[in-house]
Amino acid sequence: MSRAGNLVGAGVVALALTVSAYAQTPARPVTPSPSIARPLAALAASPLVPEAKPGAKPVTKPVNCRRVKCVALTFDDGPVPQTKAVLDALKKKGARATFFVLGSLAKQHPAVLRRMIADGDAIGNHSWDHAMFSRLSTPAIKRELKRTQAVIWSATRTKSHLVRVPYGENNLRLRKAAAASVQSAAVLWSVDTLDWKYRNSATVTRNVMRAVRPGSIVLMHDIHPTTRAAVPGIISRLQAKGYVLVTVDELFNGHLKAGKVYFRR
């Protein structure tokens, strides 16, 4: 054998011995360096939600709702710390949803908003404090929406282009105000769970399953404990019927126009 062949053979033997020795060595815990130990400890101690970097883009499988049965679950009036339970249920089952947040609460819980974006969910603008827009001037409506938009941007470095007017009010003046102030489409719903009225998880679930159709937009409120308790079962039942749970953007394949109103696909 040539000298080069001897060297190659020796190298292969040495590599095999190294791999064998490594396989027999007990695994040792890895101690993070001081530069990252403190951030890791702070994250582990967080009682609510893990932090995500502003503007983080999750890797999610694209969905074409022209070809599959899609439903958009939407949640209004949060976020609250307990919204974490809804996010956990969505993530566990590979589902996504849209959260129409109040600016006054979003300002208190920016980490919840970051978690939404990191998980692949969407955020919509539900005004600052749930005022009845029909009683406000157009400039006041614009202030409500812009103020909330600024909080969403500050927390996530993403711009929401979805608005849900409080109480589901819908007229041309309100839609124009939304389009002019935050360049947003108005999103309402086709399935009302009435979870604010019936504080019963079984009733909420039944109201969804009776009315849902491919392309439905479902209205719920993550501020109610009975709604949060119903979410895992609702997701499981919808998925068992072949539905894919998507964001409002995905439901319309990203084709939403500012100033228009959408009830369902």
Residues in Cβ contact with 100 at an 8 Å cutoff, skipping those fewer than 6 apart: 74, 75, 76, 77, 123, 124, 125, 126, 162, 164, 187
Tell me the residue range of the domain where 183 lies. Answer: 70-262
User: Is 76 marked active-site?
Assistant: yes
What whole-number distance in Å separates Cα of residue 255 and Cα of residue 257?
7
What whole-number distance in Å separates Cα of residue 147 and Cα of residue 128?
7
For residue 56, being part of any structural domain is answered with: no
Q: What is the count of structural domains for the chain?
A: 1
Tell me if 172 sits within 8 A of 178, measured CB to CB.
Answer: no
For residue 41, being part of any structural domain is answered with: no
For residue 16, being part of any structural domain is answered with: no
CA-based angle 80:81:83, to the nearest 5? 70
State both tokens at 87: 């996010």
State both tokens at 130: 């749930």
- CATH number, domain containing residue 165: 3.20.20.370
Residue 135 to residues 120, 174, 177, Cα–Cα distance (Å): 35, 11, 14
- pLDDT tens-digit profile of 117-137? 999 999 999 999 999 999 999
Strand duo 162-163 + 70-76: pairing: unpaired
For residue 120, being part of any structural domain is answered with: yes
Tell me if 68 sits within 8 A of 96, measured CB to CB.
Answer: no
The residue from 76, 119, 121, 195 that is catalytic is: 76
Q: pLDDT 10s per residue in the chain (265 long)?
A: 444 444 334 443 343 434 344 334 443 333 343 333 333 333 333 333 344 444 334 445 778 999 999 999 999 999 999 999 999 999 999 999 999 999 999 999 999 999 999 999 999 999 999 999 999 999 999 999 999 999 999 999 999 999 999 999 999 999 999 898 899 999 999 999 999 999 999 999 999 999 999 999 999 999 999 999 999 999 999 999 999 999 999 999 989 999 899 999 9
Instruction: Render 165-204 in DSSP notation, one character per residue.
Output: -GGG---HHHHHHHHHHH--EEE--SEE--TTT---HHHH
For residue 105, being part of any structural domain is answered with: yes
Residues in Cβ contact with 183 at an 8 Å cutoff, skipping those fewer than 6 apart: 161, 258
For residue 242, being part of any structural domain is answered with: yes
Tell me if 102 sits within 8 A of 152, measured CB to CB.
Answer: no
Please state the pTM of the whole predicted model: 0.78
- pLDDT tens-digit profile of 104-119? 999 999 999 999 999 9
The SS3 assignment for 70 reads: strand
The residue from 109, 126, 161, 221 that is catalytic is: 221
Q: What are phi and psi of 163, to 5 degrees?
A: -125, 135
For residue 127, being part of any structural domain is answered with: yes
* C-beta neighbour count of 215 within 10 angstroms: 16
Angle between helical axes of 225-240 and 201-211 (0-180°, round to 10): 40
For residue 53, being part of any structural domain is answered with: no
- Tokens 């027999």 sit on residue: 24
